Amino acid sequence: MVDQTVLCIGADDDVEDMAAALDEEADLAPIARTSVAEATAFLDTESVAAVVTEYELSDGTGLDVVDAIRDHAPQTPCVLYTDVSPSDIDTASFEDAIVEYLNRDLPDAADRLGFVVDDVIAHSAQVGFLVPDDEDSRLAALDSYDVDDLPIEESFDRLTDLISSHFDTAVAFIGLIDEQEEDILACTGGDWDSITREETICTHSMLQEDVMVVEDISEDKRFAQNQQLHDLGIVSYAGANMTTPEGQTIGQVCLIDHERRSYSPEQRAQLQQFAETAMEILELRQSLLEASDAEVAP
């Protein structure tokens, strides 16, 4: 198994203690840095599984590092490992940085640090979205489709062409949602490959049973501050679930427009029908692949 890089930041002695505590954990590879500048330079070129930082650093605070990584990789978990009390920590400029706070004065702090870092990595514990309660089985269901080996691209391209034309929207796409991002399998009207799970509206749409419509994302606090959505020109959204025969939602069929718009109950039902058609195509292609594999097996 590949080791997970954990960036540790603190004064010389502090950072050695952090690294020593994390070295006790299998699969964690601590990297030490001693300042905000060194840490941000590292983050500019390398990806990390987690960050552990002291609060007081020679050229700033640990929250400066957290702020920097939230810009680059917002889903990265951060642990503030410090003996400074929360009441003495200046959070005025970092109100939505949100970190795991661990008091290093606790008697078993070093033991807890390894446990907490393992946990926040394993459970993506600081992501800015909610995951379904049955996420593990949902991901297993998604994994059961050999999407890379299925000849579905042309079928899905034709389908998104039809969907976009039917609803007269700027964009129509089909995406599958894995642990970290939405993989766009077909997209008419846009050149989109993937969107992180934190950024995509489908993260929210997949959690509700019926078709989700956002008439104008600037009027919804879940999306109004999401710069990537604005950069993509998204104003309105409608999404319907692709649900496996066993009931797991693995993807979405979506409509995007560059202007505000609403959808009638009939249109929502039609979008759901398109999503069911996409799921049937995926199922059929998977069945054919499995039948073909069975034929060539000795």
Interface residue list for other proteins (CB under 8 A): 63, 80, 85-87, 89, 91-92, 94-103, 106, 115-116, 119-120, 123-133, 198, 204, 207-209, 212, 214, 220-222, 224-226
**Residue 76 CB, nearest distance to other proteins (Å)?**
12
Closest distance to other proteins from the beta carbon of 32 (Å): 24
State how beta strands 181-188 and 171-177 pair. Answer: antiparallel
Q: Which is nearer to other proteins, 66 or 281 (CB)?
A: 66
Nearer Cβ to other proteins (54/187): 54
- Helices 12-23 and 109-122: crossing angle in degrees, nearest 10, is 70
Identify the burial level of 278 via C-beta atoms within 10 angstroms of its C-beta, where 0-12 means exposed, 13-18 middle and 19 or more buried.
buried
When the beta carbons of 99 and 185 are compared against other proteins, the nearer one is: 99
Cα gap 65→57, rounded to integer Å: 10
Taking phi over 0 as left and psi of -120 to 50 as alpha, with beta for the rest, 60 belongs to left
- Minimum distance of other proteins from residue 130's CB (angstroms): 4
For other proteins, which is the closer residue by CB, 101 or 192? 101
Total residues belonging to the chain:
298
Pick between residue 123 and residue 260 the one whose CB is nearest to other proteins. 123
Minimum separation from the CB atom of position 290 to other proteins (A): 30
In the complex, what is the shortest distance from the CB of residue 91 to other proteins, in angstroms, rounded to a whole number? Answer: 4
